[in-house]
Structure 1
Amino acid sequence: MVEQNASLKERLQGDMKAALKAGEKDRLSTIRLILAAVKQKEVDERIMLDDAQVVVVLDKMAKQRRESIAQYEAAGRNDLADIERTELLIIQDYLPQALSEEEVTAILQAAIAEAGAKGIGDMGKVMALAKPKLQGRTDMSAASARVKSLLS
């Protein structure tokens, strides 16, 4: 394990080495997938990602895994769903601590107040304010649905 105040990328690289030494094949392959996705984004955008941007990549990967699990289960392919579940658990290790329903609602209500939102037409403004606080810590589609219900 890498020290706690290390960047997320440094932590991933340290954990990859540890998984390699320990022979943890699932963890090693998932961390390599994460690092490849981070590197791809850096190359595509010609930037070095900070922790917040790495969390966005992780959040996207977690969402993809959740969608794949649902599709594999619907198709009766539990073997493939189990692989996706394992990857999702490892990805979630690197995401910030999940927020409770109450915390998400409080953040959304604060964003509604800050945006001066009056109705559904202001949903984009609210989500723009709330997204940085929620990214990687809750399901953004569920948060969006909650904003819609709070504004209607």
Structure 2
Amino acid sequence: MSLLETLNADMKTAMKAKDKPTLSVVRMLKSAVMNEQINLGHDLTPEDELSVLSRELKQRKDSMAEFDKGGREDLVASTSAEIKVVEKYMPAQLSEEDVKKIVQETVTEVGAQSMADFGKVMGAVMPKLKGQADGKIVNQSVKQLLQ
């Protein structure tokens, strides 16, 4: 079942349950997926779907951080609820230890020695971890290993 089919089914379920917050998020996700499909001009691959979901999740996390800085607890709570709905469609996230192992393997593969090789390592490791780990965690792991 494609992401679009899953979103349609979940949208119907949310409508029947009169769950407006979930319905709103599912509609936004469906809209983002359909817009991406139109932009690319073909059906989305699982990688494309993952990119859309990752982008939507990142936007919400960034918004939540800004709302938190601004002291807008009401918006933090609603954005947190949206994040939970988006995460339902994401693949399982790797633990920090697993991320560090993969980063270590990649550092060895690329032959990185210092921080000068940071970009090379990030370029090699991010496709491996796409959608499975937060970029900030990956970034920190690479910096720790290259210092």
TM-score in same-fold range (> 0.5): yes
2:47 maps to which of 34, 48, 52: 52
2:86: which partner in 1?
Answer: 91
User: How far apart in 1 are the matches of 2:105 and 2:4?
Assistant: 31
Aligned positions of 1:1-152 closer than 5 A: 6-152=1-147
Aligned Cα root-mean-square deviation (Å) = 1.5
Q: CA deviation at 1:84?
A: 0.7
Unaligned runs of 5+ in 2: none
Q: CA deviation at 1:142?
A: 2.2
Secondary structure of 2:28's aligned partner: helix
Secondary structure of 1:94's aligned partner: coil
Q: CA deviation at 1:46?
A: 2.2
**What is the TM-score with the length of structure 1 in the denominator?**
0.88
Q: CA deviation at 1:7?
A: 2.3
Amino acid paired to 1:70: A
Amino acid paired to 1:150: L
Secondary structure of 2:88's aligned partner: helix
Secondary structure of 1:88's aligned partner: helix
Q: CA deviation at 1:132?
A: 2.3
* Cα-to-partner distance string for 1:93-141 (whole Å, 9 max, x where unaligned): 0111111111100111111112122222222222222212322222102
Q: Percent identity?
A: 37
Unaligned runs of 5+ in 1: 1-5
User: How far apart in 2 are the matches of 1:121 and 1:44?
Assistant: 36
Q: CA deviation at 1:90?
A: 0.2
1:3: which partner in 2?
Answer: none
- Number of equivalent positions: 147
Amino acid paired to 2:45: D
**What is the TM-score with the length of structure 2 in the denominator?**
0.91
User: How far apart in 2 are the matches of 1:116 and 1:100?
Assistant: 24
